[in-house]
Amino acid sequence: MSKDTKNIIRSALILTVITLIAGLALAAVYQVTKEPIRQAEAAAALRAYEAVFPGGEFEELPLAPFNGAAYGIADAQGVTVEKIVAVQQGGTLLGYALTVTSPNGYGGDITVAVGVRTDGTLNGISIISQGETAGLGAACAEDSFTSQFAGIPGGTVVWTKTGKKEPNEIDAISGATVTTRAVTAAVNTGLAYVAQHHPAEGGSGT
């Protein structure tokens, strides 16, 4: 075996060992950080649920399959319902709070807490996480935008750039149509999920 061949083999072995060590280190870091990350995400979701249903008591429910795009919701391609909780107060069912994520924001995923009353009316929404542009799409997390959704009758929320004229309309964020579309699709997916899977309490069903 030539000297060059031995050097190549030695370099390959060294690279393999380095890669293995780096992989083990990353795995160790992941295991250490996984639980704190999960706890932080759960805390953020709880704060959002409390924002859409103040004073509520939350009980997680089994998650049923749901495809918003197949259901006919505009712009719902890839939108997922990740969690649903029943909201009660003093033993009375108030409605449902859902965690819904749209991957179609300008900066990627936008995760929204959607509160739906038992009659299908939106009780409110809160942004759990988003990566939109500061001064533009990031305004989706501000009360001036999210407060528009509270009290909208069940069905479909429509965004407009020409000023709200109907009860189910909301004003789009100026200069952030993509963000507005993504949030609205997430909200409509949450509404449709409740209407389909909890029709006795939250909608007409299918």
Note whether residue 27 is domain-resident.
no
Domain count, the chain: 1
Q: Is residue 17 assigned to a domain?
A: no
Burial 7-23 (b: 16+ CB within 10 A, else e): eeeeeeeeeeeeeeeee
Buried b / exposed e across 94-104, counting CB within 10 Å, b at 16+?
bbbbbbbbbeb
Query: Is 156 a member of any domain?
Result: yes
The residue range of the domain holding 178 is: 51-202
The answer to whether residue 59 is domain-embedded is yes
Residue 180 lies in a domain: yes
Instruction: Supply 29's token pair.
Output: 């870091």
Q: Which residues touch 27 (CB under 8 Å, ≥6 apart)?
A: none
Per-residue pLDDT of the chain (206 residues; tens, 9 = 90+): 666 676 777 777 787 888 878 777 776 665 666 566 556 666 778 899 999 999 999 999 999 999 999 999 999 999 999 999 999 999 999 999 999 999 999 999 999 999 999 999 999 999 999 999 999 999 999 999 999 999 999 789 999 999 999 999 999 999 999 999 999 999 999 999 999 998 765 444 44
Residue 46 CB contacts under 8 Å (≥ 6 apart), including other chains: 58
Instruction: State the pLDDT at residue 201.
Output: 53
The pTM of the full predicted model, rounded to 2 decimals, is: 0.80
Q: Is residue 112 part of a domain?
A: yes
The Cα 36–Cα 33 span in angstroms is 5
Position 73 in a domain: yes
Task: Give the model's pLDDT for residue 24.
Answer: 73
**142 CB-contact burial (10 Å; exposed 0-12 / middle 13-18 / buried 19+):** exposed
